[in-house]
Structures are given as C-alpha cells and as structure tokens.
Amino acid sequence: MTPCPSCNKAKDCFLCAPCLRRDVSDAVRQTQNLRNSASRAAARLVQGGAHESAAREARAEEWALARRVEWIDSAVQSEREEMEKRRARLSTLRASLESRRTALVSARSAPPRDLEREIERARAAYASTADELRDARAVLCREVVQLFGIQPARGGGGAGAGREDQVDWEIGGITLPLSGDLQRHPPHHLTYTTYLLLQALHLLTSYLSLPLPFPSSSTSLLSPSLRSSSSSASVRSYPLRLSSNSVSSSSTRAFEHAFGMLCYDVAWVCFTQGLDVGLTRAGAPLRNLNALLASPYLGQRSFGSPHTSRPVRSFASFPIDFDQFLQTQSAAAPGQRRAQGRAALSVQTQGEDEWDLVESAGADEGVG
C-alpha cells in the first residue's frame, strides 16, 4: 500500500489526490460527453419531428386539393351536359320558328279563302246533323208510344168521359186512370199500368237525353219507385206498387204521391219538347205522351246541351208547381170519393179463387 502523501497513512480504500483528480476529471469529462450526446440526440429528435409534421400537413393539403379538383371536374361536366341540352332545345326552337315563318310566308302568299262560305257550309252541315238527330229522336219516341200501345181506351170512359181531358187512356191494353181517379181500379191493375208507364218514360228520357225532376230509384217490377228531388233536405223514395193482399191508408197515400210524381215527370218531358199541357191536364200522362208526338219541337230539345237549337237549362223553367199539382189532383174527382165513402170494394184477382178486400180511405186519402 502506498501511503497518502498528505497524512502518510496507508489505507486501501482511499485514493491519492492525483489519482482522485485524474479519475474525477475523467468522470466529469464522460458525464459532459454524455450530456452533449443527449443534447444532440434530443435536438435531432426535435428536428425530425418537425420535418414529419410538415410532411403530414403537406400530404393532407394535397388530398384536399385532389378532392376539390375532382368536384370541379364533376361540376364542369354537369355544366357541359346542361349546355348540350340547351343547345339542342335552342336548335329545336329555331327549327320550329323557321317552320312557322315558312308557313306564315306561305299563308300570306296564298290566295285568301272565302271564310264566309266555309262558315255557311259548316252551319249547313250542323243544321243537317241536328235535323237528322231530331228526326231520329222523334222516330224513337213514336216507336215507344206504339210499342207500349198508348191510346184511348176502347169502348170506355172515365168518371168524366164527356170531357176530352177526362177520357181514359190505356197502355199495354189496360186502362190507366187519371191521377185523381185511382179508386176505380184494383191494386194489381194500378201497379202493372204504372210500371209500364215508368218503363216507357225511361225509354223516352233516354232517347231525348233528359233528366227528370223525380227520377226512378228502382225500375224493377217487384219494387218500382221514384225518389224525391235531390234539392230536398232529405231524399225519400215513394213506391209505385200496391199489394192486393195488404192495402193501408199510408201505402195508398205513398202510391198516390208517387203516381203524382210520375205524372209530373211526364208533364215536364212534354214541356221540354214544346208542349204546354197546363196544370189541369198534367194528371193525364198517357194523353200527354200521345199529344207529345204532334209537337213540332219533338227531338230538338235536351237538357243543358249546347248542341241543340233549343236547350233546356234547368227545372226552374217549368211553370207547374208540384204541390199545387197534387192539390189539384186530389180534388179532381170529389163526387166519386164522397159516393165511395168508407164502403168496401171487392176485387177478384186474376188467377186466384179468393177475393181481396180493398177499403176506401175517404176523400182525403184516396183509394185504400
């Protein structure tokens, strides 16, 4: 062991000053070198991170610019297509304008047409067609009257046979009474004749293109009926059928009301064709239909049509009031109603052995 030059003590755990200075100096130098190396490495790392961030930002900006370029290309392509469409439309409009100009030049250069003569020719053709249509309608109406056998009753008269407007008329070979004289006939007789009249009127209005103030809600033989005007608060159907097995005053009143509606419809049809039947004669539908054939305006008028020479616009033009007509018909045969009183009328139904009893409902209710 080398003793310490300071204290001359020899100990193995101590170093001498020169050695200590040399070793400490080496340690300090190494520590400094390490620190410098660490500083340089940190600086390199910082510098490398900055370069990487710049590269990332550059790549992001490049991607955004690429997307914008794609959008601009798509917008440019759309505008090009729209421009092509507009060019095509402009070309079509120019061609159309050119053709119109050519037609206008041709029309101006052509000799003038005789418009008055063409108008007269068209009017003559229209009048000819209207006459043919009128004649066809008139022929069809006459065929209907002949088909249903509408004519004066053979060898018989009604309650007022001495007057022309009280003579009985028949349809299908069976007498149809006047609206104020229904009590003289059995229920099945009235049902059958009114059904024939309803069918004949349906054909006539179809041929003449006319609606009715009281249209039929059913034309079936089992349940013929008329419905009240649609202008009423509540639409109601009135049966045109009487059962011979059960006749009540309410059913009789309903039938009489329906029969009055049917006579009113016939009077309306006659009015539209230029035949004024009047209030007192409106209750004789068969006589009115037969007189309709003699009207000079038969077939010329139809409801609301501009293609007829004498159009019918509305029901309001009809001068006969329905309520007044019913009152007139209810007082048409007071003598017979008083004579009948409440006596029973026995009627033998066709094809049956039994007898049906039909009660009269008095002067205010008609037949029962």
Query: What would the pLDDT profile of 80-118 be if each residue is shown by its tens digit?
Result: 999 999 999 999 999 999 999 999 988 888 777 777 888
Average model confidence (pLDDT) across the chain: 75
Nearest to 205 by CA among 258, 149, 273: 273
- What is the CB-side half-sphere exposure of residue 323 using CA atoms within 13 A? 0
Task: Among 19-28, 228-237, 265-274, 276-285, name the one with the lowest average pLDDT.
Answer: 228-237
Q: How confident is the model at residue 251 (pLDDT cuts 50, 70, 90)?
A: confident
Nearest to 278 by CA among 269, 286, 292, 267: 267
DSSP 222: S
- Whether 266 shows a pLDDT value over 70: the answer reads yes
Query: What would the pLDDT profile of 274-331 be if each residue is shown by its tens digit?
Result: 888 888 888 888 999 999 888 888 887 765 454 455 555 567 778 888 888 888 877 6
Query: What would the pLDDT profile of 320-367 be if each residue is shown by its tens digit?
Result: 888 888 888 776 544 444 433 333 233 333 333 332 322 222 333 333
Confidence (pLDDT) at 166 = 54
Residue 36: what residue type?
A: N
Query: What would the pLDDT profile of 109-152 be if each residue is shown by its tens digit?
Result: 877 777 788 888 999 998 888 888 888 988 999 999 999 999 88
Confidence (pLDDT) at 18 = 73
**85-121 core/surface letters (b: 16 or more CB in 10 A; e: else):** eeeeeeeeeeeeeeeeeeeeeeeeeeeeeeeeeeeee
- What is the CB-side half-sphere exposure of residue 240 using CA atoms within 13 A? 28
- Whether 162 shows a pLDDT value over 50: the answer reads no
